Amino acid sequence: MTLELQSLSLSLGGRRLFAPLSFTVRDGEIVTVMGASGSGKSSLLDFLCGMLDRNFTTEGRVLLDGADLAPLPPERRRVGILFQDDLLFPHLSVGENLAFGLPPDLRNRSARRAEVARALVDAGLEGFESRDPATLSGGQRARVALLRTLLAQPRALLLDEPFAKLDVGLRDRIRSFVFTHARAKGLPTLLVTHDPDDARAAAGPVVALASLSDGSLANGGEPGSS
Amino acid sequence: MSRRRSIALACGLFAAVAATQGAAEPRPVPSFAEAVTAANGQTVYFNAWGGDERINAYIDWVGDQLAERYGLTLEQVKLSDTADAVARVLAEKAAGNRAQGSVDLIWINGENFAAMKEADLLFGPFVAELPNFALVDTEGKPTTLIDFTVPTDGLEAPWGMAKFNFIYDSDRVETTPADAGELADWAAANPGRFTYPAPPDFMGSTFLKQILIELAEDADLLQRPVESAAQFAEVTAPLWTYLERLHPTLWRDGRVFPTSGPAQRRLLDDGEVDIALSFHPGEASSLIAAGQLPESARTFVFPEGTIGNTHFVAIPFNAQAPEAAMVAANFLMSPEAQAQKQNPEIWGDDTVLALDRLSLAQQALFAEIPRGPATLPPDRLGPVLLEPHPTWMTALEEDWRRRYLR
Amino acid sequence: MPLRPLIALRLRPFPASPLALVPLLTLLLFLVPIAAGLIGTWLPAFGFLPNLGGTRFTLEPWARLLNDPALPGALTATLVSGFGSTLLAFALTVGFAAAAQGTWAYRQATRLLAPLLAVPHAAIAIGIAFLLAPSGFLLRLLSPWATGFDLPPDVATIQDRYGLALALALATKETPFLLLMLLGALGQVQSPQRLATARSLGYGPVTAWLKTVLPAVYPQLRLPIYAVLAFSLSVIDMALILGPTAPPTLAVLVFRWFNDPDLALRFVGAAGATLQLLVVVAGIALWRLGELLVARLGRRWTAGGARGGSGRTARTTWSGSLFAVLTLGLAGLLVMALWSFAGRWRWPAAWPDSLSAATWSRQLEPAMETGWTTLLLGLAAAGLALLLVLGCLEQEQRSGRRPTRALWLLYLPLLVPQVAFLFGAQVLTVSVGLNGSFTALVWSHLLFVLPYVFLALAEPWRRLDARYLRSARCLGATPFTVFWRVKLPMLLRPVLFATAVGFAVSVAQYLPTLFAGAGRYATLTTEAVALSAGADRRIVGVYAFLQALLPLAAFAAAVGLPAWRYRRRRALQ
């Protein structure tokens, strides 16, 4: 699986957020996109998962496995995303949160339960099915959030500064937990961050997202150019 | 008179409706036997003034009886003013609704009956078909056939007898007034302790008529329609002079009036006034029994006579269930229903029946009724004064409004 | 290399759906009856109503209206009670919020708001009528030992000429509404920061609030205040119970004309209804002028630099006044509940001679029947309103467009006096054969229920963290699944609260029930108002109590259900 951006750029009200981006993320590879706040990082991710506000105009294309993503509604893109906050649904138990991610075509109830249980073991949270997510620690919640995303069987993973709010001590552990899983699943992964540590840990190509707001031309282009 | 104009207006309108829809044949009146058959399963919307819970409870009882005996459903639509339902039937006729009306049976008399009769809003004549009508005392109680000077013509079935009387707190009133003049004297001596409901509430209007009959130089004129504004002004001048004197001595200086008879009776119970008005000689006893008037409540009438009338039920021309309405009207005149109604613990409304036409068993039903502590014996109820022609009432209400609703 | 767009496309992430029609449908449901009702009232006001024989335009109805002896008195009572109650409610709201911010009283008052908000106007009026009457509860408490009254004094403490008792009762009912609206608005203007800034410059707390917070929140209070003013100037049920009788207020006068068997008076009534609309429009315009004047003076005052004191006196005064008014409303209800269990209870006893359940056992059956109608009607209207509001909000969220202008339209049924268009709307329902049907009844309630449901639900709905929705979509959930499995459950509390608000509004409706139901449908409110005119106070007590109980139960359910459902979900408690 590969995620391919071809001369992609976004504009709002006739103003471009960043210079056109062209790069490819191969399976198991983690590409880091770095940029100052307001450079359009979040809009880029919104666009990739299909949730971009309709006031934006886009140019260029994004291909996943060679197919254009644009015509697909978000729920059919199978692009997983993790945010700064874990966004576990507060009205569901931990187990229900995980089951929410499972594809509906897995109908057998005991099979679904088994998948959830397996994911919990994977996160080191065995037997946590009926727990209230509000009672988990930050690290536990972050792991559940990743596993919920992975249970949806994504074809690519987007990470929107997912470690920014974690304690420094915890950050390394969660980071490696996420990266290990992304690599193991062979997912092309796009990490958006402004933390150089994240980029270093990802050990992949880095793309700098240059803002065009001051009129200067972007230098962003090829992976590994920084 | 605005009433006449409105009716003329309505008639013109109905002519227009008839012209567009073809001449409207009056609906046929079934025989009673046919009515009983058709009534099974029908629902009668009985539009009846709903301001008295005891009467509502009685109507509930009637509903239960009708359901049991005839398989029909009686739904009381509780009106705050009977005119509301009359207006609704008028509006329905204007809209061309000829058999799907919202009113099946209406509790009515006086000006509302006159208005409905004149505007052809009534079904029938049907009363002669009702077997219990033969038991009605049409000779001894002529008001069962003449409603406020207007002949009933079989368009409304008599239901109960009313006679104007006063309820007073005997702990606070020592000598009861014997006529209108004494009443005003009493009010002057006891300022703020008497009032009457604001017309057009029927109790308030009746009070005006009672005073007018007493004070008018030629009370016989009142039995005929108002002839002119000048005649009305001349005949009613003594009444307005009387009210000018009375009002400053009334409760709230005559600037606030209770909205209805029951409202004034509640004021009596609250101790805000000492005298209230009633249309049912047995009502005071009945209210004592219900814990709504003090034990010391008693009644009095003017020895020279007070207004008496009959109240009826009628069926609008466009009733959905005229058959069931006939069955209900007949039951309301039955000895059981009439005796139940006359019991002061239930309602205390006098019967329209001639007791000598009843079987002994039926007579016994009436003999068993207790009279109650506040009810005057029949020989002390005084003579019945006849209701004036409805045009007087309409004009009185309008003039009262002009003078005092400011 | 020059930037060359490959393709420029405008993203339409969601396909058009029937949902897109919901806002339009909602507006039509609103606007058609109101517009038709207004026109159907204006035409007869100028003599035109062919069904009743009015075939040419004439000013005669206006001449009769303006020459009516009752009009001057009615207008006076209307203006005094309408403006009096609105000014009082506004002063209490602002005075309390400014003076009592952050105190114990402030937190307690907010608890009293919801129940008072839930209780129908008629029940409040019935309770206050018995409290304040010369033979009422307050004087019974004090007589004869303190007052020396052996008999109730002959003073019009209720049904007074100018509608002062009516104004007080209206204020009791409207103050909680304004306070609740104010509390909602405060959250959006960063009032703590504003206050902190002003206090650090040496301003006393009350002065700081009035100078820095009030100008910021007032724009958001404006529509609710106009709605309160419009309602107070045209209320019927409360005026029937507490208002003057000879003459009554304008709205009651018009109401009587519409019900008079003399058809000619329909035209006068239509003119009166139109005058009522003009009174409300002029009233709002006058209030707006007052706003401008106060704003100008206020700016000078603000710039004057006066710092104000500690506000201790103001705190006592305003907290005391607010609690007095709120207590009046609640105490009235309790006393009416006591009446329903009373044996004999005559002046000047402060407590019934005996207590029994006799009234309840006699009245329960008929009252239950009426209660069922009320319940079904309320559930139907509130349920329908909820569906439409959810549809509108969902469409708004999916299309990303937020119709700000529509808010005024939403307030329309709250700003246009009911008597000004219900007669015309009745003509409409008669002509399509709907008059007196349950459909017409639900529809008429919907007009007044829907705005409140929308007001109660819109903010929580819009505030829901959109990233949850995004997250769910990226996990493969369709918009429909997101709606059912994420939004609704997460917003269960505001959804149920909004439904309870709608239900309470429906239970309180008097005039729409009479007009659209053609007198065939009795609700607890129509019964309570009818009975209050003179029936046994014990029975009035039963109806007033049930009338208050039903919406209170709905609110209790709206609070209790989510609390129970999410008792193991800490984040949702």
Q: Mark whether B63 and B196 lie in a shared domain.
A: no
Residue of A59, A73, A134 with shortest CB distance to C571: A134
> Cα torsion at C148, C151, C153, C159 (round to 10°)?
140
Q: Mark whether B270 and B366 lie in a shared domain.
A: no
Q: Is the pLDDT of residue A52 over 90?
A: no
Q: Which pLDDT score is estimated for C293? A: 96
Q: Which pLDDT score is estimated for B10? A: 34
Distances (CA, A) of B341 to A84, B336, B337, C92: 79, 8, 6, 53
For chain C, the domain total comes to 2
Final residue of a domain: which of C301, C325, C355? C355
Is residue B352 within 8 Å of B333, Cβ to Cβ? yes
**Cβ-based burial of C145 (10 A; exposed 0-12, middle 13-18, buried ≥19):** exposed
Residue of C474, C489, C571 with shortest CB distance to A49: C474
Q: Which pLDDT score is estimated for A212? A: 59
Distance from CA of B60 to the nearest CA of C (A): 9
Q: Which residue is closest to B45 within chain C, CA to CA?
A: C520
**Cβ-based burial of C37 (10 A; exposed 0-12, middle 13-18, buried ≥19):** buried
What is the CATH architecture of A1-78+156-226? Answer: 3-Layer(aba) Sandwich (3.40)
The verdict on a CB contact (< 8 Å) between C263 and B50 is no
> Cα torsion at B283, B112, C264, C34 (round to 10°)?
70
Q: Which residue is closest to C345 within chain B, CA to CA?
A: B270
| ∠ CA A71-A75-A81, rounded to 5° | 105
Give B110-151 pLDDT, tens digit per residue.
889 998 998 899 998 999 999 999 999 998 888 999 998 899
Q: Mark whether B147 and B14 lie in a shared domain.
A: yes
Q: Which pLDDT score is estimated for B18? A: 35
ipTM over 0.95: no
**What is the C-alpha separation between B273 and A185, in angstroms, rounded?**
92
Question: How big is the A-C interface in CB pairs under 8 Å?
Answer: 113
Q: Mark whether C425 and C324 lie in a shared domain.
A: no
pTM for this predicted structure: 0.87
- Residues of C with CB below 8 A from A133's CB? 571
Domain residue limits at B235? 165-308+385-404
Of B403, B350, B332, B309, nearest in space to B112 by CA: B309
**Joined tokens for residue B33:** 């036997």
**Cβ-based burial of C565 (10 A; exposed 0-12, middle 13-18, buried ≥19):** middle
Q: Would you say residue C411 lies in a domain?
A: yes
C1/A contact by beta carbon, under 8 A: no
Q: Mark whether C399 and C524 lie in a shared domain.
A: yes
The verdict on a CB contact (< 8 Å) between C476 and A78 is yes
Q: Which pLDDT score is estimated for C407? A: 66
Q: Would you say residue B300 lies in a domain?
A: yes
Interface test with B, best of C52, C139, C263, C540 (most B CBs within 10 A): C263
The verdict on a CB contact (< 8 Å) between C570 and A152 is no
The verdict on a CB contact (< 8 Å) between C6 and A58 is no
The verdict on a CB contact (< 8 Å) between B272 and C265 is no
Q: Which pLDDT score is estimated for C489? A: 94
Residue of C12, C476, C492 with shortest CB distance to A75: C476
Give A116-156 pLDDT, tens digit per residue.
999 999 989 999 999 999 999 999 999 999 999 999 999 99
Q: Which pLDDT score is estimated for C402? A: 66
Final residue of a domain: which of C355, C380, C398? C355
Give B331-370 pLDDT, tens digit per residue.
999 999 999 999 888 888 889 999 999 999 999 999 988 8
Of C484, B156, C467, nearest in space to A160 by CA: C467
| ∠ CA B63-B69-B75, rounded to 5° | 20
Residue of C343, C527, C533 with shortest CB distance to B291: C343
**What is the C-alpha separation between A226 and B277, in angstroms, rounded?**
102
Neighbours of B63 (CB within 10 A): 18
Q: Please report, rounded to a whole number, the percentage of residues in chain A having pLDDT higher than 90.
A: 55
Of A50, A65, A82, nearest in space to A190 by CA: A82
Return the residue matching tokens 């709907």.
C434
For chain B, the domain total comes to 2
Of C402, C507, C511, C381, nearest in space to C453 by CA: C381
Distances (CA, A) of C308 to C208, C311, C398, C489: 8, 8, 49, 47
Q: Mark whether C29 and C87 lie in a shared domain.
A: no
Give B295-320 pLDDT, tens digit per residue.
999 999 999 999 999 999 999 999 99
Residue C163, SS3 per DSSP: coil
Q: Which pLDDT score is estimated for C30? A: 83
What's the pLDDT band for A14 if we cut at 50, 70, 90?
Answer: confident
Of A59, A19, A60, A17, nearest in space to A41 by CA: A17
Q: Would you say residue C67 lies in a domain?
A: no
Q: Is the pLDDT of residue B159 over 90?
A: yes
Q: How many CA atoms lie within 13 A of B368 on its CB side?
A: 13
Q: Mark whether C478 and C453 lie in a shared domain.
A: yes
**What is the C-alpha separation between B283 and B336, in angstroms, rounded?**
19
Q: Mark whether C170 and C135 lie in a shared domain.
A: yes
Q: Is the pLDDT of residue A223 over 50?
A: no
Q: Would you say residue C69 lies in a domain?
A: no
Lowest average pLDDT, out of B194-198, B264-268, C104-108, goes to C104-108
Query: B265-298 in b/e burial notation, b at 16+ Cβ within 10 A?
Result: bbbbbbbbbbbbbbbbbbbbbbbbbbbbbbeebb
The verdict on a CB contact (< 8 Å) between C465 and A134 is no
The verdict on a CB contact (< 8 Å) between B262 and C533 is yes
Give A197-218 pLDDT, tens digit per residue.
899 998 899 998 876 554 434 4
Nearest-10 crossing angle of helices C121-132, C312-340 = 90
Which one-letter amino acid corresponds to residue B271?
G
> Cα torsion at B46, B51, B52, B55 (round to 10°)?
-10
Q: Would you say residue C492 lies in a domain?
A: yes
Q: Three-state secondary structure along B134-166? A: HHECCCCCHHHCEECCEECCCCEEEEEEEECEE
Rg (alpha carbons) of chain C, rounded to whole number: 26
Handedness of CA B269, B270, B272, B277 (dihedral sign): negative
Q: Mark whether B12 and B103 lie in a shared domain.
A: yes
Residue C54, SS3 per DSSP: strand
Give the CATH number of the domain where residue C525 resides: 1.10.3720.10
Chains A and C in direct contact, meaning 3 or more beta-carbon pairs closer than 8 angstroms: yes
Q: Please report, rounded to a whole number, the percentage of residues in chain B having pLDDT higher than 90.
A: 70
Which residue(s) pair with A79 in the sheet?
Answer: A156
The verdict on a CB contact (< 8 Å) between B192 and C154 is yes
B1/C contact by beta carbon, under 8 A: no
**What is the C-alpha separation between B313 and B215, in angstroms, rounded?**
32
Interface test with A, best of C395, C475, C481, C486 (most A CBs within 10 A): C475
Q: Name the neighbours of B, counting chains with at least 3 Cβ pairs within 8 A.
A: C
Neighbours of C103 (CB within 10 A): 13
Domain residue limits at C528? 16-58+357-573
Residue A65, SS3 per DSSP: coil
pLDDT tens over chain C, length 573 residues: 333 333 333 334 444 577 888 888 888 888 889 999 999 999 999 998 887 778 889 999 999 999 999 999 999 999 999 999 999 999 999 999 999 887 888 877 777 787 788 899 999 999 999 999 999 999 999 988 999 999 999 999 999 999 999 999 999 999 999 998 898 888 788 888 888 889 889 899 899 999 999 999 999 899 999 999 999 999 999 999 999 988 999 999 999 998 876 778 889 999 999 999 999 999 999 999 999 999 999 999 988 888 888 888 888 899 899 999 989 999 999 999 999 999 999 999 999 999 999 999 988 988 998 999 999 999 999 999 999 999 999 988 887 766 666 667 888 888 999 999 998 888 888 778 787 889 999 999 999 999 999 988 988 898 898 889 989 998 999 999 999 999 999 999 999 999 999 999 999 999 999 888 877 788 999 999 988 887 789 999 999 999 999 999 999 999 899 999 998 888 887
**What is the C-alpha separation between B197 and B258, in angstroms, rounded?**
5
